[in-house]
């Protein structure tokens, strides 16, 4: 079973507890079809705009055993507020560079 760390949008924390993220991860559905069920080792926010803290948080998730870093759909797709993160491309690129080959990235959850 793969271990994943999920990075979410800080602005959605007050309106979304991540329930669907955890359900699809545990069941291996939607973004997790390829991996099958996974163990979530951490669920953190990006740290707020423009998402610079996502880099250090991704590194911590990898240190804690994550082999996959997943950007929650609130970041990449704008669920549930209907507004994807305008900093997502830069954040993703910076995280990918920081974690290198230590973990791969999945771009959404549900």
Dmax over CA atoms of the chain, in Å, equals 34
Domains of the chain with CATH codes: 3-106 (3.40.50)
Provide the token pair at 67. Answer: 């082999």
- Reported as type and span, the H/E element at residue 1 is none
| Mean pLDDT along residues 58-78 | 97
**pLDDT at position 96 over 90:** yes
Assign residue 36 a region: left if phi > 0, alpha if psi is -120 to 50, beta otherwise? Answer: left
Share of the chain above pLDDT 90, in %: 94
Task: Note the pLDDT tens digit of each residue in 10-33.
Answer: 999 889 999 999 999 999 999 999
Q: In whole angstroms, give the CA distance from residue 44 to residue 109.
A: 14
Task: Provide DSSP, 14-62.
Answer: TT---HHHHHHHHHT-GGGTTT-S-EEEEEEE--STT-THHHHHHHHHH
């Amino acid at each position: 079973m793969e271990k994943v760390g999920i990075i979410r949008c800080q602005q959605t924390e007050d309106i979304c507890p991540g329930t669907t993220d955890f359900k699809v991860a545990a069941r291996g559905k939607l973004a997790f079809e390829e991996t099958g069920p996974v163990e979530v080792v951490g669920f953190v926010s990006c740290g707020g705009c423009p998402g610079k803290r996502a880099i250090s948080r991704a590194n911590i998730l990898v240190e804690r055993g994550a082999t996959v870093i997943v950007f929650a759909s609130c970041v990449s797709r704008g669920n549930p507020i209907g507004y994807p993160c305008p900093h997502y491309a830069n954040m993703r690129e910076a995280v990918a560079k920081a974690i290198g080959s230590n973990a791969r990235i999945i771009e959404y959850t549900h």
